[in-house]
Amino acid sequence: MTRQHVALIIVLLILIIGLTSCRPAIKHNDYLISYNDTIKDQWGYKNENGEIVISLGKYAKCFTDTFKTYAIVAKQNSGFIAIDRQENVLYEVFPFDNGPDEPSEGLFRILADKKIGYADSLTGKVVIKPQFDCAWPFENGVAEVSSDCKTQTEGEHSSWISDHWIYIDKSGKSVEKPLTTTLK
């Protein structure tokens, strides 16, 4: 091996060491885990070391088991909210079947000022801002929504009725009605 090859290898090693040591440290285990006191039926969050970060009873229930960037929790009085790691309220979560809306195709419904939109289930980020009076979960890449609907109640069940349903894609753009759909 020549001196030039050795010098080149040394320079490459220095570059590799320099580039990898300047990268910010990523904590792979930076998350909170929900826990509950089954006797008092209270919920909270602990860090990976078992230290309490969000005390028992602050929220009525923790629906997110592993809290990375956001968590869905039940408020003490009623309703569901998404919170960030500093416990700032991000938005209300649409209630469905006695719990928070379940993700469908990676999105779940959220509320703001009595309007419905959608958030990403992995990141918690708002994908489609709340703007609809009625909005069904996504199915086959589209959701049926309306900005002009009424709630019709029959016994303990209710349903939405509208003469102005439209279909939207996951970016919120209006699209043609799918040829075959089983929405609703």
pLDDT at 31 over 80: yes
Query: pLDDT (tens digit, 9 = 90+) per residue, 115-149?
Result: 999 999 999 999 999 999 999 999 999 999 999 99
Q: Is the pLDDT of residue 25 over 50?
A: no
At residue 69 the predicted structure's pLDDT band, cuts being 50, 70 and 90, is: very high
Q: What is the mean pLDDT of residues 104-108?
A: 97
How many CB atoms are located within 10 Å of the residue 31 CB?
Answer: 16
CB atoms within 10 A of CB 54: 22
In the chain the beta strands, taken as DSSP E runs, fall at: 32-37, 42-47, 52-59, 61-62, 66-67, 70-74, 80-84, 89-93, 95-96, 99-100, 107-112, 115-120, 126-132, 134-135, 143-146, 150-154, 157-161, 166-168, 174-175
- Assess whether pLDDT exceeds 50 at residue 20: no
DSSP letter at 17?
H
Q: Note the pLDDT of residue 132.
A: 97
Position with higher pLDDT, 125 vs 41: 125
pTM metric for this prediction? 0.78
Burial class (CB in 10 A: 0-12, 13-18, 19+), 105: middle
Domains of the chain with bracketed CATH: 29-92 (no CATH), 94-184 (2.40.10)
What is the mean pLDDT of the segment spanning 72-93? Answer: 95
- 169: three-class secondary structure by DSSP: coil
